[in-house]
Structure 1
Amino acid sequence: MTVRELNSWTEIREELHRRINDRIWQPGETIPGEADLAEEFGCARTTVSRALRALAEAGLVTRRRKAGTRVAVNPPHKATFTIPIIREEVEARGAAYSHSLLKRVEAGLPPQLHAAFPVGEGARLLFTETVYFADDRPFMFEERYTNLDAVPEFGTIAFDLITPNEWLVQNAPYTSGDLTCYAANAGERLSRFFEVAQETPLFVMERATANQKVPITHVRMSYQPGYRLRTRF
């Protein structure tokens, strides 16, 4: 595709992004103006303006009135986060996967989660507890609150063939989230569950997701002793 064939703002954004990444335009350099780019790409000036606005929102360029558009000197480096499907994680380890839904009930949010999961008063929440197994051994214990006002279909699923984790990954897109990782003692209940001493440290993750500021779900996941989290970026 030649530059003359680039006429949508997304195509122009990608071409400008390429020029920045390939150092055709150096950090701090002023790039051609909207009118010049519109002529080059054979499109309306407003189309170029939208592409540049998207690059500015991503932190790749800085735009100042009467000063033009410059390539950012220190652009942000962002990582894409993908919520894993627990079944796939277990199977990737070469283990046989299974799960069991222990609890499913509409319940209010406990006070300690109000700041982390601000659903608002009167929200309908479904609380679920699910245990995930690897080779018939407990792999992870999940405690989840899901906002039925955000995903009403969630309340109709039996969760015998699919888990809350997998259903939400497939059916509830999110635009923002919060992730906290920490170690916590197994305590009385999880020590019996994992067959370890109560003082045994477990790897715990708490994650909350939202779609356009509408809270979707808050989940606390406690993993088997010795679990290690590995990420790529």
Structure 2
Amino acid sequence: MTIADTNSWRGIQAELLRRINEREWLPGSLVPSEADLAIEFGCARATVNRAMREMADAGLLDRKRKAGTRVALHPTSRVVLDIPIIRLEVEQRGAEWRYSLIESSAEPASLALTSRLGLPRDSEMLHVRSLHYADNRPFLHEDRWINLDLLPHVRSVDFSAISANEWLIQNAPYTAGDISFSAMGADAGLADLLDAPEGAALFVIDRITWDKDRPVTAVRLSYAPGYRMNTKI
């Protein structure tokens, strides 16, 4: 984990989860205190607290006041899908990440989208399209809509310098999300962007995140052919 990753509670959470999955921390073992972890990662104690609280809510850690925090002996079977930072996903595959902004503009969203999000018809949203690379090969196309009523300051963000994916994870809290996985054939536009034959099978993730009952963002991630999602249970 790089120094930059510790600026985010999600980066710390990913490292703590790695230690559990790779048996560096065994079931039932006492884990370092929040204060000790904050010193190790060079971050605020509150950042560590958020990461550990989320893991406790997921049943991975057992936290008891005055008794410390232990790795859960019998983790719950609750399924938790976290939103990854695409840059880190690429780097964890041993590849060099690069990012290219295609467009970023405020425009009326389609009726189909506003209906799904429960927004008024023709609501103006920020439409951000970009391409992520792994070792200079197209990795995925990010097609995203951001709710400007909820995040009006996002208009001033320079998405040529930071991806919308990473900026939102760092700056826009969410309480719930809807996610679907599918396969689709690449149309001419996507085939060109992803350097794939037209009609090639693409792995697609559609995701909406919510802050209580208000939509934060809706995104479609279209991965280049050959992508495999790996997870653990």
TM-score bracket relative to the smaller structure: 0.5 to 0.7
Give the TM-score normalised by structure 1. 0.64
Deviation for aligned residue 1:195: 2.4
**Match for residue 98 of structure 2?**
98
**Match for residue 84 of structure 2?**
84
Percent identity of the aligned residues?
Answer: 38
Work out whether residues 116 and 208 of structure 1, in 8 Å CA contact, stay in contact via their aligned partners in 2: no
**Match for residue 179 of structure 1?**
179
**Match for residue 120 of structure 1?**
120
**Match for residue 221 of structure 1?**
221
Work out whether residues 109 and 123 of structure 2, in 8 Å CA contact, stay in contact via their aligned partners in 1: no
Give the Cα–Cα distance (whole angstroms) in 1 for the partners of residues 154 and 164 of structure 2.
8
1:148 aligned to 2:135? no
Give the Cα–Cα distance (whole angstroms) in 1 for the partners of residues 106 and 185 of structure 2.
28
Which protein is bigger by CA-based radius of gyration? 1
Give the Cα–Cα distance (whole angstroms) in 1 for the partners of residues 116 and 201 of structure 2.
23
Aligned 1:6-45 pairs, distance under 5 A: none
Give the Cα–Cα distance (whole angstroms) in 2 for the partners of residues 193 and 145 of structure 1.
19
Give the Cα–Cα distance (whole angstroms) in 2 for the partners of residues 149 and 99 of structure 1.
27
Work out whether residues 202 and 224 of structure 1, in 8 Å CA contact, stay in contact via their aligned partners in 2: yes
**Match for residue 190 of structure 1?**
190
Runs of 4+ in 1 over 2 A off after TM superposition: 76-81, 111-124
Count matched residues.
160
Amino acid at match of 1:219: V
Give the Cα–Cα distance (whole angstroms) in 2 for the partners of residues 119 and 231 of structure 1.
34
Query: Secondary structure of 2:108's partner?
Result: coil
Give the Cα–Cα distance (whole angstroms) in 1 for the partners of residues 134 and 168 of structure 2.
21
Give the Cα–Cα distance (whole angstroms) in 2 for the partners of residues 128 and 84 of structure 1.
18
Question: What RMSD over aligned residues (CA atoms) do the two structures have, in Å?
Answer: 1.9
**Match for residue 6 of structure 1?**
none
**Match for residue 70 of structure 1?**
none
**Match for residue 167 of structure 2?**
167
Work out whether residues 119 and 147 of structure 1, in 8 Å CA contact, stay in contact via their aligned partners in 2: no
**Match for residue 205 of structure 1?**
205
Work out whether residues 184 and 204 of structure 2, in 8 Å CA contact, stay in contact via their aligned partners in 1: yes
Aligned 1:39-78 pairs, distance under 5 A: 77-78=77-78
Amino acid at match of 1:226: G
Structure 1 portions without partners, runs of 5+: 1-21, 23-57, 59-75
Give the TM-score normalised by structure 2. 0.64
Q: 1:142 to 1:104 in 2, by over 3 A?
A: same
**Match for residue 157 of structure 1?**
157
Structure 2 portions without partners, runs of 5+: 1-27, 29-57, 59-75
Give the Cα–Cα distance (whole angstroms) in 1 for the partners of residues 100 and 195 of structure 2.
18
Amino acid at match of 2:174: Y
Work out whether residues 131 and 139 of structure 1, in 8 Å CA contact, stay in contact via their aligned partners in 2: yes
**Match for residue 7 of structure 1?**
none
Query: Secondary structure of 2:112's partner?
Result: helix
Stretch deviating more after TM superposition (101-110 or 214-223): 101-110
